[in-house]
């Protein structure tokens, strides 16, 4: 250590021993960190008697009864030269006073950016598959949709290291066939609950999947959701072959039969056909749906998905579904190919519809004439533009509903705003009419027409 460093250390020891300098040096350090150089002034407001006395002795000024004291770096340097510490480097004094190197904010940012780049470069080199690279690149550049990842990184090691490792291990081993989330989590981490939605790793994993899903430009991206957060998460996981709840999530159907792929080829599942022959409806949980290759209308003609197009009808209202089934049962007619989603499309709904489209079916959808109903129809049309047709869902049908419904409650302005997100040209006239009338039309008014269509 040279003489000047020794002198600076002695000066720092002196100033540390005088409590009246504490605030001054704290302000000096902050000013230097902000400006990156020894310049500018600092102000001590409401100085204590001890501060006024210490500063008066050093700067040879009278600070008695002053409401504030303003001192510049230049004043400090000049006063320092009048002491036994003359020639000492002020930055060295600040470092010794702080007992750690004082770095500027810009230097601190540069160091942080370098450390961040090294952190993510190392992870990208280790996890090279596309999902990992997509997510890591977005996080590295602080892209939208990476808020939790940014927070996880800022927590610092080892916490962020652990969360990133769990998430990346999961992204690098996403299943090719459907797997239940607890089993997947257990396989990846040894803990079946590690990726639960209420854990830090689970929340980070979901955020990563959402970003990757958006990068894939899913058809319904950007539309307002009628689903609960849990349903949205379940559908997101499903799109990556992960299942959270595969029993309580179900659809109800009639007049359909299903096929499953075995090592020897595709084979019809007998219980679906037996239900149709017995005139019974089926509640099919997601657990069963994900194992199917395709679904088609039941009957002698049911065969491979390459056969001619087959019509299947979809309603969301359980009461409408049961009323239609009652008619066919009362008249001893074979049950029609009909699917009930029980309200807004849930994961089981999409799983069933995916397999109907795989079966080369044309889907006819009927729903309510209200903002929520139109959003459902719009989402279905956008997701399957070549295989979905509207069923009793025209402008004339809407006016029929209004005419026969009698007095109805006016749709609120907040609900009408949802119509701004309906983009399908096939629904444009109904959107305009609904905005004008501000009244909803419901399927129950058209149930006889629905039955007539199915029985003709």
Q: What is the pLDDT of residues 175-192, one digit of tens each?
A: 998 898 988 999 999 888
Q: Report whether 269 contacts 254 (CB < 8 A).
A: no
Calpha distance 196→167 (Å, rounded) = 12
d(CA 41, CA 26) in angstroms, rounded, equals 13
Tell me: pLDDT of 373 over 60. Answer: yes
pLDDT value at 117 more than 70: yes
Evaluate the CA torsion angle 53, 58, 60, 66 in order and state its sign.
negative
- pLDDT above 50: residue 254: yes
pLDDT, mean of residues 13-18? 92
Structure confidence at residue 72 as a pLDDT band (50, 70, 90): very high
- Which helix (H) or strand (E) segment holds residue 12: the answer is helix 3-17
**Tens digits of per-residue pLDDT, 325-345?**
999 999 999 999 999 999 889
The pLDDT assigned to 96 comes to: 92
**Residue 407 confidence (pLDDT):** 63
**Worst-scoring range by mean pLDDT, 13-27, 100-114, 215-229?**
215-229
Please state whether beta strands 265-268 and 282-285 pair in parallel, antiparallel, or not at all (unpaired).
Answer: unpaired
State the pLDDT at residue 309.
Answer: 57
- pLDDT of 366 strictly over 90: yes
Amino acid 405: pLDDT: 72
Q: How far is the C-alpha of 366 from the C-alpha of 390, rounded, in Å?
A: 6
Which residue is it, tokens 């916490």?
A: 159
- How far, in Å, CA of 226 to CA of 232, rounded? 9
Q: What is the mean pLDDT of residues 124-136?
A: 92
Q: Please tell me the distance from the alpha carbon of residue 257 to that of residue 383, in angstroms, as a whole number.
A: 23
Q: Cα dihedral sign for 160, 162, 163, 165?
A: positive
- What residue ranges of the chain are covered by domains with CATH 3.40.1360.10? 250-455
pLDDT at 301: 55
- Give the chain's radius of gyration (CA, Å): 35
d(CA 174, CA 239): 11
End-to-end, the C-alpha distance of the chain in Å comes to 101
pLDDT in tens, 399-454: 999 888 766 678 999 999 999 999 999 999 999 999 999 999 988 999 999 999 99
* Of 326, 234, 228, 357, nearest in space to 285 by CA: 234
The answer to whether 68 touches 46, Cβ cutoff 8 Å, is yes
Return the ∠ at Cα 434 (arms to 433 and 437), rounded to 5°.
Answer: 80
Assess if CATH 3.40.1360.10 describes domain 250-455: yes
Res 52: pLDDT: 92
E strands along 263-379, which residues? 265-268, 282-285, 294-297, 310-315, 338-340, 361-366
How confident is residue 384, by pLDDT bands cut at 50, 70 and 90? very high
């Amino acid at each position: 250590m040279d003489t000047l460093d020794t002198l600076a250390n002695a000066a720092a020891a002196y100033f540390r021993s005088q409590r009246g300098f504490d605030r001054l040096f704290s302000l000096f350090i902050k000013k230097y960190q902000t400006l990156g150089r020894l310049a500018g002034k600092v102000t001590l407001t409401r100085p204590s008697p001890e501060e006024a006395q210490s500063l008066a002795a050093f700067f040879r000024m009278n600070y008695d009864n002053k409401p504030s004291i303003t001192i510049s770096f230049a004043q400090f340097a000049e006063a320092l030269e009048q002491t036994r510490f003359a020639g000492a480097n002020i930055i060295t004094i600040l470092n010794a006073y702080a007992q750690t190197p004082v770095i500027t904010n810009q230097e601190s940012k540069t160091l942080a950016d370098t450390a961040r780049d090294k952190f993510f470069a190392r992870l990208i080199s280790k996890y090279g598959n596309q999902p990992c690279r997509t997510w890591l690149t977005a996080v590295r550049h602080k892209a939208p949709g990476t808020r939790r990842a940014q927070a996880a990184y800022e927590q610092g090691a080892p916490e962020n290291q652990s969360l990133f490792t769990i998430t990346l291990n999961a992204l690098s081993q996403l299943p090719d066939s459907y797997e239940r989330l607890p089993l997947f989590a257990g396989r990846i981490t040894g803990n079946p609950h590690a990726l639960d939605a209420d854990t830090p790793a689970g929340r980070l994993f979901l955020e990563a999947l959402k970003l990757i899903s958006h990068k894939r430009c899913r058809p319904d991206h950007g539309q307002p959701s009628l689903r609960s957060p849990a349903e949205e998460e379940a559908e997101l996981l499903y799109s990556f072959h992960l299942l959270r709840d595969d029993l309580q999530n179900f659809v109800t159907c009639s007049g359909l039969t299903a096929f499953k792929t075995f090592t020897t080829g595709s084979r019809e599942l007998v219980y679906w056909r037996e239900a149709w022959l017995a005139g019974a409806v089926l509640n099919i949980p997601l657990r069963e749906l994900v194992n199917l290759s395709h679904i088609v209308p039941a009957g002698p003609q049911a065969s491979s998905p390459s056969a001619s197009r087959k019509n299947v009808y979809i309603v969301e209202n359980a009461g409408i579904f049961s009323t239609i089934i009652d008619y066919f049962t009362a008249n001893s007619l074979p049950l029609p190919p009909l699917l009930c989603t029980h309200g807004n499309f849930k994961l089981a709904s999409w799983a069933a519809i995916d397999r109907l489209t795989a079966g080369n079916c044309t889907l006819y959808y009927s729903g309510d004439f209200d903002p929520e109903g139109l959003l459902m129809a719009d989402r279905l049309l956008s997701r399957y533009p070549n295989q979905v047709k509207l069923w009793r869902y025209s402008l004339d049908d809407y006016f029929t509903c209004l005419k026969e419904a009698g007095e109805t409650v006016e749709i609120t302005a907040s609900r009408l705003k949802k119509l701004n997100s309906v983009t399908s040209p096939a629904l444009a006239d109904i959107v305009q009419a609904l905005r004008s009338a501000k009244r909803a039309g419901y399927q129950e008014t058209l149930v006889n027409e629905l039955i007539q269509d199915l029985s003709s």
